[in-house]
Amino acid sequence: DCRQYTNRSCEECLKNVTCLWCASSRRCVEYPVRRILPPAELCELRSARWGVCWVNFEALIIAMSVVGGTLLIMLGVCCCCCCCKKKSKKQVLGGAFLSTRPDKDDERAAREREKRRVRQEERRAEMKSRHDEIRRKYGTV
């Protein structure tokens, strides 16, 4: 029972992990496990100690909020950097656009351009041979 450590020391009280030390009233009470934070009528947050005597709940909440917020901000910045890095396919260098690395869309477009160019060359050659044939037929060569 945690109440047996009341009016003793914080260290003695907190040897049992189910106990909560209230520094202002020097009471050792059962930690209210159904609630995350101890209610104010049990003990104020700045006086409540659990786990270790040198950290009160108020400081613990502030510290965890700062650390959690910092981690969330860092995660958000990393996600934004990764997304922006993937989206930026070209970078400006000295006023000219240079491709940082060709991606699949650029490669596909280049292949399609090459196919169109080859087809156009074939059509030109075919038309030239037809025209040459017509010229030979009518003797205008």
Residue with tokens 């910045």: 77
CA distance 113 to 120: 11
Beta strands in the chain (DSSP E): 19-22, 27-30, 48-49, 90-93, 96-99
**Do 14 and 36 meet the contact criterion of CB atoms below 8 Å apart?**
no
Give the residue with greater pLDDT, 86 vs 5.
5
β-strand partners of 33: none
Distance CA 126, CA 55 (A): 88
Read off the pTM.
0.51
| Nearest C-alpha neighbor of 131 from the set 123, 118, 120, 119 | 123
pLDDT in tens, 77-93: 999 888 887 766 544 44
pLDDT at 119: 95
pLDDT digits (tens, 9 = 90+) for 48-64: 998 889 988 888 889 99
Per-residue pLDDT at 77: 93
| Strand 90-93 versus strand 96-99 pairing type | antiparallel
Residue 100 has pLDDT above 60, yes or no: no
Which pLDDT value is given to residue 88? 67
